[in-house]
Every structure is written in C-alpha cells, then in structure tokens.
Amino acid sequence: MTLTTMEPPRQEAGSRCDVLVLGSGIAGSSAAWAAARSGARVVMLEKLDTPGGSAALSAGMFWTAPNFEALRDRIPLGDADLGRQLVADYPAALADIRATGIRVAAEPQHGIMTYGIGYSLDIQALLAHCREQVLAAGGEVVAGARVLRLSHDDGGVSGAVVRYDDGTVTEYRAAAVVLATGGFQGAPDELTRHIGPNADRLVLRSNPGSTGDGLRLARACGAGGTKAMSTFYGHLLPHPLRRFEAEDFLPYSQYYSDYSILVNRQGRRFIDETQGDEILNQALTFQPQARGVLIFDDHVRRTYGTAEPFPGLGLIDRFAVAVEAGGRHASADSLDELVAQVADWGIDRQTLEDTVSGYGAAAQAGGGLAHGVPVAASARAPQTGPFYALEVQPSITFTFGGIRISAAGQVLDPDGVPVPGLFAGGADIGGLSNYGYAGGLAPAFITGRWAGTSAAARAAALSISKEN
C-alpha cells in the first residue's frame, strides 16, 4: 500500500474517531500504529504537507542505553521511572519492528553517543508501515492540518479543532488525543524563555513544524511541566554556513569533536571534550557568542573525522565538507603556526597558547585538570601534523523538556494527576533525557507506543461505558 495521505474532510464539524494523533513523526506514527493494532479507529494529523517529521530526516539508528544503570550514569537528572520503563520495553519494541520485515541490522552497534547500543534500520519504511497500518484499519492520515485548540467535555479532552491549508476549519471528536508534535525547537520565544539569551543563535537542525504546539495545547488543558527545559539535543556545525538544508544535517555534523580540543571565543576550554559531541553542543551554547573552535591533528581528521558514526552515513572527510560549506578554518604544519592563524580570528593568542599547551601536558600526564577544566585519562593531545582548526556553532534537533507524563503515556497535571483523554509521546514529553541524551528514534517510538496503547484502552472503555 503506497497511499499515505488522504484528502481531508470538508465538513465543518462532526468528524469522529477513537484516537486522534497529532503529529506523524516516529512518536506519532508509533502511537497511531499501536492504537490501530488495539482496535481503535485512528486519525493521524500532520501540520506540514508531508508526513514523517524529523524522523524522516534521521540516520535511522534505533538506540538507547544498554541497561538502566548505564542510563542513570549518563543521565542522572533524568526521570527514573520513565527511564526504567524505556530500557525494559526496548527489546519488545525492536522485536515488533523486526517482525514487520523492515530492514533492521543483524548486529548491534555499541558505544553510540559514547555509551548506547542500537541497530540501524530503514526509518522511511518504518514510518510508511505505521501509516499503512492505520489506513488498513480504516483510519486516516491527513497532512496540511494545523490544530487550533483541543476540545473538552465533562469527561476531559474530547478532540481538536483543525484548520487545513486551504482555510477550511473542522472539529474532530475523539475519545482520546495523543500529542506527538515533536518538541519546541522551532519556537524562538520558547527557546529563549527556557534556554537563555543565546538560544536565538541555535541553528535549527530539525523539521520546521516542531514549534511547541504540543506543549501549548497541553498547558491549556492543565498539564504539568518537567525538568530539563533548558537542555536539548543537537550537534556542532561549522560556522559560518553558506546554506543549511535538510540534506546537510548529517554531513555537516562534527561528530568527532570529542577527540579534539574545544575552546570558546576567548581561547579557553570549558568542558571535558570526551563527554561527546551532543554534550559539547549544549555547553557551547552558553559560551560567549555561542561560538567555538575545534583544534585537532591529522590523525583525528583521518580516523575519527572520516569514520562512519552510524551505518549508512558513509565515509566522508567532515573537515573538508565543513570547509566547502563555508566554515572558517585554518591548517598549519605546527601547532604554533595554527594558534597564530586562529588568533587572527580575534582570539587572544597568549590565552590560546596556554590552553593548548596546558591540555597537552595534562593529557600526557594521563589526565587531570588544565586551567581548572578536566582532561580525561583517554584524552590525546594533537601531535601529528598537519594541524587543523574549525570554527563551530551549536544546533538544536529537539528539546528535552516538555509535558509531564506517566510511564503509561498519560499526560499529568502539576500534581501528578492524569488529564482525562490526553496522552503524549516523543519530543513533546519532558524529563526522559536531561542534558544527557537517551536516544531519539527508540525513545520516541517506545513512548509513542505507551501513549497509543493507553489512548486505545480509554477509547474502548468509553465505548463499553456508552453501551452499558
């Protein structure tokens, strides 16, 4: 079955379904599939003109922590209840995907984002499968549908008022609504409110439709918020960039930064680089001008800088790609020459010299502190010429804070009481990741399943209640 979208109904009111899913990324698709498989009639709405959300732009790596202890070690500030359930549900979720016949790698990849485990899969096929299952069960997948507000009755949330791209407005009535709109990374006002003054410098490495719709809709229904509102996922990118389109998201990402020295515009280190690129990306946001410089040697460029971080991304020279993209860069046969070139960018030469030499001394000594900043025992100082420098900037793919939910996908109010009829999954929820990153596709798919399954159960219960 190739049909993925249907012409929206044109009546102004009266469209009915059991479960209404808002968003068609991996969380919304998973929720819709789970609800349809439970016997519910599902309508999945997407506000953009094509379904798939940011998941459709991803590398297709289905990963998370190998166990709960590893998750807590990496994300000590994360929600423990959600994290425990995520790890417990991962094997069953992976097995369900394999059972569809969709391509899933036979062997896992270890050390993802320094600690995770996961499998490469065909993300486009998985998204299409979810849509096909909804349609096969008598549901709908409708693109170009923007939700204006949620509807309420005495029993709780009961649907949504929707405007289509042609201006038509209609109301869907449903026993349960699932929010899976993808986070608030595309909303500059929300980013500035929660992240801080440099949030407006973050490059959007995401689909443009994730502008906090789920968060605003949930708040209007009395939902509670979570921790992690100032933390997010993204990767360091070259600065400046001549362009940045969806096809540039993966090749421009500087995944190898944890093998480099990262300094701010003052020439100072501010974090242990071995924590991983997604952590460095967040930390750089709070440095002056939210700009930094990666310094590394030819060994790093020819190994980690050209490695394939995820199966299917291909072997590319990321420094060369960054230069071609417009990134400010330098190269030299010696570190002293490189420092002199970078100093011409407006960075204090003496400070930068002290930073580089201090890092090298600490690394040679087996780790410790350099000017008060940790240097890991595994750190390796640049030593094999030529040497390289690349100016970088932070990006944002999705936010870590959001709607408070239970481990059953129920939206909770500030007191922890479920909001009747309202469920959420994916990047719309908050607290599962918090500074540390629990994964993208797998957590979204699994939390979407929680929401979709619970939403279908509510619809079935209400149907029985009405019959009685």
CATH of the domain at 19: 3.50.50.60
Do residues 58 and 27 lie in contact, with contact meaning Cβ atoms separated by under 8 Å?
no
Which are the contacts of 404, defined by CB distance < 8 A and separation ≥ 6? 223, 224, 225, 226, 411, 412, 413, 414, 416, 429, 430, 431
Cα 259 from Cα 256, distance rounded (Å): 6
Do residues 45 and 21 lie in contact, with contact meaning Cβ atoms separated by under 8 Å?
yes
Output the DSSP codes for 72-120: HHH-TTS-HHHHHHHHHHHHHHHHHHHHTT--B-SS-EEEETTTEEEEE
> Does 352 lie in the same domain as 222?
no
> Does 323 lie in the same domain as 264?
yes
Q: Which of 393, 428, 446 is the last residue of a domain?
A: 393
DSSP one-letter code for 121: B
> Does 339 lie in the same domain as 406?
no
Cα 4 from Cα 281, distance rounded (Å): 35
> Does 413 lie in the same domain as 311?
no
Q: Is 455 inside a domain boundary?
A: yes
Rounded to 5°, angle at Cα 429 from 428 and 431: 135
Domain that holds residue 383: 235-393
Q: Which of 363, 393, 423 is the last residue of a domain?
A: 393
Q: Which of 361, 393, 425 is the last residue of a domain?
A: 393
> Does 211 lie in the same domain as 112?
yes
Task: Note the pTM of the prediction, 2 decimals.
Answer: 0.93
> Does 329 lie in the same domain as 425?
no
Tens digit of each residue's pLDDT, the chain (468 residues) = 334 455 544 445 458 999 999 999 999 999 999 999 999 999 999 999 999 999 999 989 999 999 999 999 999 999 999 999 999 999 999 999 999 999 999 999 999 988 999 999 999 999 999 999 999 999 999 999 999 999 999 889 999 999 999 999 999 999 999 999 999 999 999 999 999 989 999 999 999 999 999 999 999 999 999 999 999 999 999 999 999 999 999 999 999 999 999 999 999 999 999 999 999 999 999 999 999 999 999 999 999 999 877 766 778 999 999 999 999 999 999 999 999 999 999 999 999 999 999 999 999 999 999 999 999 999 999 999 999 999 999 999 999 999 999 999 999 999 999 999 999 999 999 999 999 999 999 999 999 999 999 999 999 999 876 665
Domain count, the chain: 2
What is the sign of the dihedral through the CA atoms of 17, 22, 28 and 29? positive
Q: And the tokens for 385?
A: 């010429």
> Does 346 lie in the same domain as 294?
yes
Q: What are the CA-CA distances from residue 27 to residues 130, 137, 443, 449 (Å)?
A: 10, 19, 8, 8
Q: What is the Cα Rg of the chain in Å?
A: 23
Q: Is 7 inside a domain boundary?
A: no
> Does 205 lie in the same domain as 243?
no
CATH of the domain at 285: 3.90.700.10
